[in-house]
Amino acid sequence: MQEQKLTGYPSIDKPWLKYYSEEAINAPLPECTIYEYLWENNKDHLGDVALNYFNRKITYGELFENIEKAARGFYSIGVREGDIVTVFSINTPETIYCIYALNLLGAIPNMEYVTESAKEAVVAIEKCESKTLIVLDALLPKFTSVADCKAVKNIVVLSVSESMPAVKKAMIKIRQKKQSCKKAISFDLMIKRGKEYIRTTYKKDNPSIIVHSGGTTGIPKGVVLSNDNLNYIAWIFKNHKNDTQRGDTWLCAIPMFHAFGLAMGVIFPLSQGMQLPLVVKYSDQELVRLFVKIKPNHIMGSGAHIPCIQANKKIQKMDLSFFKTCGLGGTPLSVEKEKELVAFLQARGSIAKASIGYGMSETCSAIATELNRYYGKAGSAGIILSKSNIKVLDTDNGKELSYGEIGELCFSGPGLMQEYYKNSAETSTAVFYDNLGTKWIHSGDLGFVDKDGFIFITGRIKRIYSTRSEKNGTLFKLFPDYVASVISELESIKESVVVCIDDPNYKSVAIAFVVVNESTNVAKIESLIKQQIEERMPTYCVPKKVFVIDAIPLTPVGKIDYRALENRAEEMSRV
């Protein structure tokens, strides 16, 4: 692109566009349902493998056949266009059939967390007025009470073993206890009843799926996404520089009830003709096991998974030339850890780099990425996706900031959610429009954009605290994430998280939790950390206490569980 004179504002200059082709910038986005996009991209490759479930290979032809069967089955039990069907399930083939089948009918899957309590599940169902539920059989005992919801007419039960190889399926069924539930119908029986269905037509911006925000800073909210939102994510990553190709294996370590797991872990790889190994256990150990066994070309997960991959003896000895993409979100890597990962991969023949990205459920997963080895900058979250935009706003007066200035990151683009479901107050707080009528969303995250267009995350607005100076009582802003990043620069520190708790004298004080290397002298770690902070930051940033722990607690979607650490800090500080 032709060089232009900078105005000083990233949202106007868009310096990141120099990394993109004219096609990626100007080509039209798909206008169809997610099912239609899946079909158009794979209708000439029906013999290719789509899913790998416990070593059973399911082709694209079988995938489409089973989606059609599920659509007829749902229609037979009364599911119609506009209905909201609440889903409690994980990444099984039947779950994927159901999601796309409901899309064929114009119904809307409401993807609830399987970690919810029975009481939370009932609240979710009643809010959506779901007449039909989809529940994995293993979860049925916990959710039996949902049958008492007045609106519920049918509970479609998915078997975790349904698509397993015959021998494994038989072994699972022998061990399973028979379960009964009012209004329940098995997925198998439902599709046998199916005869016909009425296929929906594409309508721009119509709701297609409800996912939920991560909930680390508040009660999870229903994020309404359209076909256009989801197809944008699949289209944009297809048309940006990457190392994916049809037939590649794409391993995602995030469940599909999360926006990232759904958009980047299912819809994107399947729409591009890749093979998707389905993960049903979400643990570091399972990811490492599958990595060794399957040898995926691409993985998408959290930065928290990386230490386990690097520490595994088998992986250390492997030729990793098959491995092309290491996509990371959630828990960020420090600059040093990012460099260590790149060195680890390159030493074993991989072209992959630490492909750090950034996004939110409200942006339908990713909205910025380093896109593997084609462009990146250590410590950054990459550049904004080509058809999206970013502006940085001053947290005090709301004015747009220039390059290098820290403020709240706000985004616009085709991936932005439609709304928070039945929550106009939260929607109006999160979404705003500029004087040109462009829709933007507040991220709640602090950061800046440099002159090359790279985004750097420095913390969260909701994790900005006020603390008093020890000398004269002056109030200062305390950014715990920034303190943690400085602590993480120490060679003896594997991971660091800083939280703040109330203090009668200083208003708020910082408490550090660290995971240390095996050779570290734990007795000296607190003084080492305090010395590091005193040399680099104002004295009010020095942690009041430092606690060495075995691992940083994470939420079910791979984010740092700040609430758990804050509670722990309160308890341990009283001792």
Q: What is the pLDDT of residues 423-466, one digit of tens each?
A: 999 999 999 999 999 999 999 899 999 999 999 998 877 777 88
- DSSP letter at 515 equals E
Q: Indicate if the pLDDT at residue 337 is higher than 70.
A: yes
Q: Phi first, then psi: give them for residue 499, nearest 5 degrees.
A: -120, 165
| Model pLDDT, residue 170 | 83
- Cα(181)–Cα(147) distance, integer angstroms: 7
The b/e string for 69-105 (b: 16+ C-beta within 10 A; e otherwise) is bbbbbbbbeebeeebbbbbbbbbbbbbbbbbbbbbbb
Helix (H) / strand (E) containing 230: helix 227-239
Strand positions, DSSP E, 195-334: 207-212, 222-226, 250-252, 276-277, 298-302, 325-329
> Quick one: average pLDDT of 289-307?
88
The CATH number fitting domain 32-203, selected from 3.40.50.980, 3.20.20.70, 3.40.50.300, 3.40.50.740:
3.40.50.980
Q: Indicate if the pLDDT at residue 305 is higher than 80.
A: no
**CB-count burial class (<10 Å; 0-12, 13-18, 19+) for 354:** buried
With H, G, I as helix, E, B as strand and everything else as coil, classify residue 143: coil
Model confidence pLDDT, tens digit, residues 42-69: 999 999 999 999 999 999 999 999 999 9
State the chain's mean pLDDT as an integer.
90
**CB-count burial class (<10 Å; 0-12, 13-18, 19+) for 458:** middle
Q: Where do the domains of the chain lie?
A: 32-203, 464-574
- Cα(334)–Cα(337) distance, integer angstroms: 5
| Model pLDDT, residue 498 | 95
- List, in order, residues 6 or more apart from 95 with CB less than 8 Å away: 87, 89, 134, 136, 158, 256
Q: Indicate if the pLDDT at residue 1 is higher than 50.
A: no
- Cα(160)–Cα(75) distance, integer angstroms: 23
Alpha helices in 365-517 (DSSP H): 424-430, 480-487
Model confidence pLDDT, tens digit, residues 479-500: 898 899 889 989 899 999 999 9
- List, in order, residues 6 or more apart from 195 with CB less than 8 Å away: 72, 76
pLDDT band at 412 (very low <50, low <70, confident <90, very high): very high
Helix (H) / strand (E) containing 407: strand 407-412
With H, G, I as helix, E, B as strand and everything else as coil, classify residue 253: coil
| Model pLDDT, residue 409 | 96
Helix (H) / strand (E) containing 214: none
**CB-count burial class (<10 Å; 0-12, 13-18, 19+) for 360:** buried
With H, G, I as helix, E, B as strand and everything else as coil, classify residue 528: helix
| Model pLDDT, residue 473 | 61
Q: Which fold has domain 464-574?
A: GMP Synthetase; Chain A, domain 3 (3.30.300)
| Model pLDDT, residue 74 | 98
Q: Indicate if the pLDDT at residue 468 is higher than 60.
A: yes
Find, among 48, 64, 70, the residue nearest to 276 by Cα. 48
Name the token pair of 298: 């691409």
Counting residues of the chain whose pLDDT is more than 90, the rounded percentage is 65
- Cα(133)–Cα(143) distance, integer angstroms: 11
Whose structure tokens read 């100076």? Answer: 469
Find, among 197, 71, 184, 189, the residue nearest to 134 by Cα. 184
- DSSP letter at 177 equals P
> In degrees to the nearest 10, what's the CA dihedral of 567, 569, 570, 575?
130
Specify whether the CB–CB gap between 233 and 365 falls below 8 A. Answer: yes
Q: Indicate if the pLDDT at residue 24 is higher than 80.
A: yes
Whole-structure pTM value: 0.84
Q: Indicate if the pLDDT at residue 2 is higher than 60.
A: no
Specify whether the CB–CB gap between 483 and 45 falls below 8 A. Answer: no
- List, in order, residues 6 or more apart from 466 with CB less than 8 Å away: 475, 476, 477, 478, 507, 508
Strands 184-186 vs 207-212: parallel, antiparallel or unpaired: unpaired
**Which residue type sits at 266?**
V
3-state helix, strand, coil in the chain (%, to 5): 35, 25, 40
Among 9-18, 219-228, 415-424, 461-470, whose mean pLDDT is lowest?
Answer: 461-470
With H, G, I as helix, E, B as strand and everything else as coil, classify residue 133: strand
> Quick one: average pLDDT of 392-406?
94
**Can you say whether residue 462 is alpha, beta or left, with left for phi > 0 and alpha for psi between -120 and 50 degrees?**
alpha
Strands 455-460 vs 439-449: parallel, antiparallel or unpaired: antiparallel
Q: Indicate if the pLDDT at residue 7 is higher than 70.
A: yes
**Which residue would you say has higher pLDDT here, 298 or 303?**
298
**Which residues, listed in sequence order, are joined to residue 357 by a DSSP beta bridge?**
369
Identical fold, 32-203 and 464-574: no
Among 3-7, 393-397, 458-462, whose mean pLDDT is lowest?
Answer: 3-7
Find, among 303, 300, 443, the residue nearest to 363 by Cα. 443
| Model pLDDT, residue 472 | 59
Q: Is the alpha carbon torsion for 18, 19, 22, 24 positive or negative?
A: negative
- Cα(198)–Cα(104) distance, integer angstroms: 8
| Model pLDDT, residue 216 | 37
pLDDT band at 217 (very low <50, low <70, confident <90, very high): very low
Name the token pair of 108: 């809307």
Helix (H) / strand (E) containing 557: none
- Cα(298)–Cα(275) distance, integer angstroms: 10
| Model pLDDT, residue 428 | 94
Counting residues of the chain whose pLDDT is more than 70, the rounded percentage is 95
Number of neighbours of residue 305 by Cβ within 10 angstroms: 22
Find, among 126, 138, 219, the residue nearest to 173 by Cα. 138
Alpha helices in 241-334 (DSSP H): 259-262, 268-271, 284-294, 306-311, 313-316
- Cα(88)–Cα(128) distance, integer angstroms: 14
| Model pLDDT, residue 335 | 80
Model confidence pLDDT, tens digit, residues 508-566: 999 999 999 888 888 899 999 999 999 888 888 899 999 999 999 987 667 788 889 99
Highest mean pLDDT among 322-336, 362-376, 394-408: 394-408
Q: Indicate if the pLDDT at residue 215 is higher than 50.
A: no
- Cα(158)–Cα(186) distance, integer angstroms: 6
- Cα(40)–Cα(46) distance, integer angstroms: 11
Please state the separation of Cα 382 from the chain's center in Å.
16
Model confidence pLDDT, tens digit, residues 133-175: 999 999 988 888 888 898 999 999 999 999 998 888 888 877 7
Q: Indicate if the pLDDT at residue 4 is higher than 70.
A: no
